Amino acid sequence: MRHTLHLKAPGNWINDPNGFIYYRGKYHLFYQYFPYAPVWGTMHWGHAVSTDLVHWEHLGVALFPTKYEDQNGCFSGSALEHDGKLNLYYTGIHYDKPRADNIHTCIEERFASSQLMLISEDGETFDNFESKRTVIPVIEDDGIGDSKDTRDPKVWEENGKFYMVLGSTKGGEEGRLLFYESEDALDWRYAFQVSGKQFGRILECPDLFSLEEKHVFIGSPMYIEEKTYGYEHHAVCARAEFCPEEGKFELSGSYQYIDYGFDLYAPQTNVDREGRRVLIGWMRMPKAVKEPGHREWIGMMGVPRVVKEDGEHICFQMHPETDRYLSRRIGGREELFRQKEIYPYRVKAVLSEGESLDIGGYKIRMEGGAVKTDRSEVFGSLEGYHLMSETPGIGGKCSLDIIVDPNLIEIFINDGEYVISNVVYGLGSYIDGHVEQIFAGDE
């Protein structure tokens, strides 16, 4: 199965991106995958590859449960190239007692978490029986980490040493990061930790990387908000100070949301073939998509985004490969009108205060110096989910670069100063004359 721009579930369920890496001339993107139904369940790692971050091909299941430690799921993690091989690091889950009526869930959330790895010789074959090893067993010392909620290893090399950061919690009251280090990417020792309410109550999917000689932290703190925008868990980023020699990590700036549509979660970054730092994230979808002749599916990824700093602000720009593909495919506004049934497609516009744009019932307007969106007409009567999104104040005029997919709209505002991504339903069904599109101007 192949997808263009947006990697979607190949049927059934996907969530977090895992093991995102450029390796041996291809981009590899693994993802949390439940292959049996369009619901969350025992996690596997699905596997997709691309040569350009635009055209994706699904290759099937890479990781699946085979060990006591991962008997009930191969959960999120990352990838590292080392000695020409592809190392995959992930969290293995073992339930104390599965539910009798659904073995893919457990009773009273009682489970244990370990950190495992699998080494692939070529990035195409994965021996789930012989090549797995446990690198960090269940943490029994509460002073170091939580035996249950410690997960999502992100591994990287920096200044000749390998580092791993894990998300964890202090008694379910405040999130914490655990740092490990290694000389060979195989044997890991605990280094230090930090914790605090700024990491929510449980921290998921931590990511730390250098950018323009500084560090940037990305994470998904749970319960950082009380049902804000329909979700309690959000993807955030901030500049950070990281000095492993001194056992020091601290945020040096305030959080900003990665995406102001608030559907994006559990993002992960790595570098592309040109050395640019690139982020990809999972778009949370409240219901499955039913397409004639296809399996039900739920879950998709947004387009990869280049992470850039603009002073104290972190931007998420459209990747040059995405821009190149969309520019080649649709040359201008008039051609866009004629080809709007072809997805994904692009809309470019400039909005000034008081002006608006309507894309198949999805509304965008500039009001009070901010970009605001309304997906009421293309989302359905789903209770508990936000319908309106907006950016912080950006002034009285802005440029918009919009990618339109039947189930996702992504708006890059002022070249990625802010991004709003909203899951939608039914955009693929509208026809000519059904929607009025009002362009406030051209770039």
* Cα–Cα distance, 396 to 77 (Å, whole number): 42
β-sheet with 362-367: strand ranges across? 356-359, 362-367, 370-374, 388-390
**Which tokens belong to 36?**
């049996």
Task: Tell me whether residue 144 is exposed, middle or buried, using C-beta atoms within 10 angstroms of its C-beta: 0 to 12, 13 to 18, 19 or more.
Answer: middle
Longest dimension (CA), the chain: 64
Active site residue 16: yes
Cα–Cα distance measured from residue 46 to residue 27, given in angstroms and rounded to the nearest whole number: 14
Distance CA 255, CA 306 (A): 18
User: Which one of the listed residues 16, 259, 272, 401 is annotated catalytic?
Assistant: 16
Backbone angles phi, psi at 115, to 5 degrees: -110, 125
**β-bridge mates for residue 174, sequence order:** 170
Question: What is the distance between the alpha carbons of residues 263 and 12, in angstroms, rounded to a whole number?
Answer: 19
Q: Which residues have a catalytic role annotated?
A: 16
